[in-house]
Amino acid sequence: MSTIEQLQPTLVRQFSQIIGAGNLSAAYIFAGAAGTGKAALAQWLAMRLLCLAPKDGRPCGECAECRRVMSGNHPDVVWLNPDAKSIKVDDVRAMRQEMSKTGVEGNRRVFVIEGAERLTAGAENSLLKYYEEPVPGMTIILTTTAKNQLLPTIRSRAQVINFKTPPVSGVRDALVAKGADERLATIAASLTADPAAALALATDEQFAKRTAAVLQLVNQLSKKDATAFVAVQTTLLPLAKTLPEQTQTLALLGLAYADALNQHYHIQAPRAFGNDLAILALAEATSKQLATGLAAVLNASIRLSQNVTFQAAVEALVLQLLEG
């Protein structure tokens, strides 16, 4: 049984039935949190469509076609996942050119755009042309963690499939069973529902350092200690060099503020950071400070995903949090 069949059994069963009945739509949006199996289901779907010997509505996972899809080298399965903050018109145009190539007649073809919230407005409009003139046998799948950032015209023309997030405790327990530190496992499981990705985080020394740096910053912020501003450059920047590391750092800070808000209101919700002293100190702030603080962290994440550098986004954020 493949991982996606364990992670999203209901969706796999539904798509197996949809494909079996020949009712696959031309456009889907796979929406859900990180690690919920969106890309894995897209790959499963491509394998199911192209597999030479499907069994019980499932791809065999062993034939030449299945293997080519799994290796990412199947000519009829095109992935668009540029390592960039935004997906631009040219990226979509290149993909549409690929789409217009006439494959073997009756060929099933699958196009996947990962992280579709990164599509620029121009790229989304370019994509709309595909929705207006779908090519028979072709399915396009957008995966996204933020479907509300997609144009309403894109959302309304595709079927939106919402991926459920498994409980943090389940992922954490699986990591602890594999020998991960419980504290780091809880934090990692709060960031991603993907057991493999969470395990990689929980056992990564850099992740442990980044977590410690964020908690130190939270401690300084709780005291309105102005050295927090200096810590951004001396401590945070060296630990967050790549965009994924920077995004993760802001996500950790967001978890800290969410934990502090829950502590402040005595809400019995699972805490990413448990009863860490820095969180307890931050929870002493007023509810207004904590709520605007959390909103400011989320806003900084959005700015980072646009054209603002990590240093500029975090320095502005820390100033705002110190003054608020």
Binding site for Zn ion (CB under 5 A): 51, 59-60, 63, 66
Is the Cβ–Cβ distance between 238 and 299 less than 8 Å? no
Is the Cβ–Cβ distance between 245 and 213 less than 8 Å? no
| 104 versus 177: smaller Cβ distance to Zn ion | 104
| 63 versus 243: smaller Cβ distance to Zn ion | 63
Paired with 111 in beta bridges are 78, 140
Determine how many CB atoms are found less than 10 A away from the CB of residue 136.
10
Note the helical H segments in 133-276: 152-157, 168-177, 182-191, 195-202, 205-222, 227-231, 237-239, 243-264
Encoded amino acid at 96, one letter: R
In the complex, least distance from residue 4 CB atom to Zn ion, rounded to whole angstroms:
15
In the complex, least distance from residue 61 CB atom to Zn ion, rounded to whole angstroms:
6
**Which residues have CB under 8 Å from 171's CB, separation 6+?**
189, 193, 195, 198
- Could you list the beta-strand ranges (E) of the chain: 27-31, 77-80, 109-113, 138-144, 159-162
| 50 versus 123: smaller Cβ distance to Zn ion | 50
In the complex, least distance from residue 263 CB atom to Zn ion, rounded to whole angstroms:
51
| 61 versus 122: smaller Cβ distance to Zn ion | 61
| 47 versus 256: smaller Cβ distance to Zn ion | 47
- Could you list the beta-strand ranges (E) of 41-104: 77-80
In the complex, least distance from residue 47 CB atom to Zn ion, rounded to whole angstroms:
6
| 51 versus 95: smaller Cβ distance to Zn ion | 51
In the complex, least distance from residue 88 CB atom to Zn ion, rounded to whole angstroms:
35
Is the Cβ–Cβ distance between 52 and 67 less than 8 Å? no
In the complex, least distance from residue 114 CB atom to Zn ion, rounded to whole angstroms:
23
- For 201, counting Cβ atoms within 10 Å of its Cβ (0-12 exposed, 13-18 middle, 19+ buried), the class is buried
